[in-house]
Chain A
Amino acid sequence: MTGLKYLLFLGCAIPYRVSSYEISTRKVAEKMGIELVDMPEYNCCGLPLDPVSHDIMLALAARNLCVAEQQGLNIMTLCPGCAGTLRKVNKMLKEDKKLRELVNGYLKEVGSEFKGTIEVKHLIQVLAEDVGFDRIKEAVQKPLSSLRVSEHNGCHVLRPVKYIGFDDPENPIMLKRLIEATGAQCLDYLDETECCGAPISGVNEKIPLELARDKLNHIKAVGAQAMITICPFCHMMFDTNQSRIERMFNETFFIPVLHYPQLLGLAMGFSPDELALKELRVDASKIIDTSIAHNMRTSEK
């Protein structure tokens, strides 16, 4: 368990508007003994531009991989979009000689070369595979055993199987197990693996909101007190847009949406302020109070 060290790839969406995810990750990682080195000179992973030009996506992703190769460190990302893209391109370039030649031709112009010496993982993959569930359970000081939540995996952490190869996209269990390691109960719900719709928000506002509404309804139906996400875009759909969805469809949800490291951080004993829970649009103080009160009762006994 010693010497876990990664290059932290922040991507675009997290510094743009989801800093609570970054703040809580850094807190949790430090206490877990995961050393995070801010990746220097990184650029967009490439995914947002893939619809315009596949070649610029490949070149941008490959350049990021080269930066990590020069540093001699594996990459950890917080955004599933970045993780999926960098993992996919890393695999494609390692396996497809012709493609590697093409991309290395581009990279030569900026003094880089893809060698295929590093790996890319999303935060939850690092936690599940490298840190391990036992170590996470040991770090939990205040089990959230009174809390019932539901998870929403980011698509690109799981799919497509042939490029990603983590967990089972048809029945994902890793995030559930990570949630259960905090003591909270993770409830199943209908259409759990469905996309939040966020990627098409720029061309169609209505469909993503309808999709997010559908998922919020399914989560509400099973009685979850909160939703746990691991993606900045999914988080925007469910947290930032929740009041908008409520107004649009004349419904009420009041379901707080926490980034997984916020949930883990609470269980590890960090204060809500340290985990930037105030930055959430949907007030999470009710569920925090419930879990803290429960812990106090349990410790009194």
Chain B
Amino acid sequence: MSEKKESPTEETQERMVIKPSDIDPRFKYEISKVPGAENIMLCFQCGTCTADCPIARFSDSYRPRRLLRMTQLGLKNQVLSSDVIWLCAACFTCVDHCPQDVEIAGVLRTLRNLAVKEGFMPTVFKELTSNLLQTGLAYKIPESRLRRRRETGLPPLPESNLESVNKLADVTGFLKLIQARRD
């Protein structure tokens, strides 16, 4: 996923041309029902989140304040299809600093969850997901590492209960969600 450079003209255009058909007025209500994103409507655009965000310092496009405003406005498709929502590192600095008690990282996570439902998911998550279902862990521990554990005198790595993991993936709807993404 590449960084999208925002030239001033592009940003001005985006700001000026918001058509009523781009707006889903129910979007903010949908978001605010999700635990962790309840306070989305309280954001008054002070910009503390963006100012304190370590990622925003080095990114031309990741601006949490902007994403919060776009969400409040109902620019659902634009937000969910954007690469930018995947740049939050979940360091939670914004959550601690927000004067309105908006869990910004929680809103970002909610946006990502919805993006996945709409069919947008970076490749890396396909790998993590497949590892989880096969091994119970997010990473597939290579055989060489397991051998090295034995050589260095470390106890063997406990095996995950794969049956339970896959059952949980099923009952939470995760499996169905992922299968839809694979098709």
Contacts and interface: CB of A to CB of B under 8 A. Distances in A.
Contacts of A33: none
A17 interface: yes
B139 interface: yes
Given A42-B158, A43-B161, A159 B148 contact: no
Given A49-B138, A197-B55, A38 B155 contact: yes
A160 B132 CA distance: 26
Given A19-B148, A110-B164, A276-B152, A43 B89 contact: no
A51 B54 contact: no
B145 A43 contact: no
A197 B54 contact: yes
Contact of A19 (B1, B121, B152, B174): B152
A197 B87 CA distance: 10
B154 interface: yes
Interface residues of A, number: 64
Contacts of B132: 43-44, 48-49, 60
The interface centre, meaning the residue of B59, B86, B132, B159 with most chain A CB atoms within 10 A of its CB, is B132
B136 interface: yes
Contact of A211 (B58, B174, B177): B58
The interface centre, meaning the residue of A26, A40, A51, A198 with most chain B CB atoms within 10 A of its CB, is A51
A50 B109 CA distance: 7
Given A99-B35, A207-B59, A44 B136 contact: yes
Nearest to B155: A38
A146 interface: no
B159 A51 contact: no
Contacts, number: 193
Contacts of B129: 49, 52
Given A160-B92, A200-B89, A53 B116 contact: yes
Query: What's the interface size class on B, roughly?
Result: 35 or more
Interface stretch (A8-16, A171-179, A283-291): A8-16
A15 B141 contact: yes
B169 interface: yes
Contacts of B87: 200, 203-204, 207
B63 interface: no
A56 B125 CA distance: 13
A207 B158 contact: no
B103 A160 contact: yes
Contacts of A39: 158
Interface of B: 1, 3, 34-36, 54-55, 57-59, 83, 86-93, 95-96, 103, 105, 109-110, 112-113, 116, 121-122, 124-125, 128-129, 132, 136-139, 141, 145, 148-149, 152, 154-155, 157-161, 163-165, 167-174, 177-178
27 contacts: A11-B137, A15-B157, A19-B145, A43-B161, A43-B165, A44-B136, A44-B138, A51-B116, A52-B113, A52-B178, A53-B116, A53-B177, A54-B35, A54-B36, A55-B172, A55-B174, A56-B172, A58-B172, A110-B167, A155-B89, A155-B90, A159-B93, A195-B91, A197-B89, A198-B89, A200-B86, A207-B3
